[in-house]
Amino acid sequence: MASAQRWSRRQCRRFGNGRGGPITQILEVQDLKTVFHTHDGVIHAVNGISFNLAEGELLAVVGESGSGKSVAMMSLMQLLPSPPAEIASGRVLFQDRDLVKLSASQIRQVRGARIGFVFQDPMTSLNPVFTVGYQIMEPLREHMGLNRKQARRRAAELLELVGIPAPEKRLDDYPHQFSGGMRQRVVIAIALACDPKVLIADEPTTALDVTVQAQILELVRDLRQKLGMAIIWITHDLGVAAGIADRVIVMYGGQVVERANVRDLFDNPQHPYTRALLDSLPGRHEAGERLRSIAGQPPLLLREPSSCPFAPRCSHAFDRCLQKNPRLIEAEDEHYVACWWNPLTEGARNVA
């Protein structure tokens, strides 16, 4: 049972699954590397990331724009055109299969039915020439074998589930007849149509205004309660992650630099990058003070990093940071960090 590895007792105590039993891992990503072959050279967009996702868990993936969040998650589902993209190494274990090794038709089955995807811009997921009803019914007929009538009834239920008023009537409307927030609800309904085990949402609220953003977040919280699926929520906003996640992965320069449960990450951030992200959150400042952003530029990813990718922007960097890229280590119980600097001692970490 490669993909359903049982968690250790310590992990179970920590997270629990509400039923007192062990937690089942539904997705395991191991050392995933994705590159792009471009005219300017090879871009190392994702450099060996690893993480697990437990059943029913909400995992947030945070990091600045360009840190490799989308490329990583699209790689899981083979959603990137190849070329230019190439999954250079790694395994993605899901229901006893390595998704990286599946053929195009096999991965299409997984994509449509077992893992739902919601992108930032709902218009890229919706086809403007078909009614939303048709677009929700399509996967229901293809993957669930429903007939027209059954699919239509289920599609109306799904629209109701995501909070669209008068769902029966709205099935015959086209995407442009919905507001931005309502369109994103439609996309979520499509992603949920076949009752997926995992929902991956890539900055699904970024294109929406703040009020609508809050409504969508509320919807996802509610859906998770009702449906119990695992969710990977990609965001550049740590504040959003704090509001919904169980665990958080912080990415920088195509790597995971910190991974912890949400409370530990916020109470006790270990990586200087996470600390800088937290410092730039509104609410951590005096009124009128400008939002601090992190000085400097994210790394160009034209070669695999041999030093810490954050070192050039890091106020704690010392010689070792420029010589060797730190591995992700368990600094505290279930709290992982890739950094040579130890915030406790304000000195070097005692690791090889």
Ligand X SMILES: Nc1ncnc2c1ncn2[C@@H]1O[C@H](COP(=O)(O)OP(=O)(O)O)[C@@H](O)[C@H]1O
Interface positions with Mg ion (CB under 5 A): 70
The dihedral sign for the CA sequence 109, 112, 113, 117: positive
Smallest separation, CB 88 to ligand X (Å) = 13
Task: Determine, following the binding rule CB under 6 A, whether residue 71 of this chain makes contact with ligand X.
Answer: yes
Smallest separation, CB 59 to Mg ion (Å) = 16
- Chain-centroid distance, C-alpha 32: 14
Q: Which distant-in-sequence residues (6+ apart) come within 8 Å of 203 by Cβ? A: 70, 119, 120, 234, 235, 236
Alpha-helix runs per DSSP H in the chain: 9-15, 69-76, 104-113, 122-125, 132-144, 148-161, 167-170, 180-192, 210-227, 238-244, 262-267, 272-279, 319-323
Task: Determine, following the binding rule CB under 6 A, whether residue 241 of this chain makes contact with ligand X.
Answer: no
Task: Determine, following the binding rule CB under 6 A, whether residue 301 of this chain makes contact with ligand X.
Answer: yes
Options 3, 47, 54, 66; binder of ligand X; rule CB under 6 A? 66
Smallest separation, CB 331 to ligand X (Å) = 24
Question: For Mg ion, which is the closer residue by CB, 45 or 339?
Answer: 45
First to last CA, the chain: 33
Options 8, 38, 179, 306; binder of ligand X; rule CB under 6 A? 38
Question: For ligand X, which is the closer residue by CB, 71 or 77?
Answer: 71
Task: Determine, following the binding rule CB under 6 A, whether residue 36 of this chain makes contact with ligand X.
Answer: yes
Options 51, 53, 56, 68; binder of ligand X; rule CB under 6 A? 68
Options 67, 75, 235, 274; binder of ligand X; rule CB under 6 A? 67
Question: For ligand X, which is the closer residue by CB, 45 or 240?
Answer: 45
The token duo for 133 is: 């009803």
Smallest separation, CB 15 to Mg ion (Å) = 27
Question: For ligand X, which is the closer residue by CB, 35 or 107?
Answer: 35
* Secondary structure class of 110 (helix, strand, coil): helix
The token duo for 258 is: 């910190």
Contacted by 198, from ligand X, Mg ion, none: CB < 5 to 8 Å by type:
none
Contacted by 161, from ligand X, Mg ion, none: CB < 5 to 8 Å by type:
none
Task: Determine, following the binding rule CB under 6 A, whether residue 45 of this chain makes contact with ligand X.
Answer: yes
Query: Which amino acid is present at 150?
Result: Q
Chain residues in the site for ligand X (CB under 6 A):
36, 38, 43, 45, 63, 65-71, 84, 301
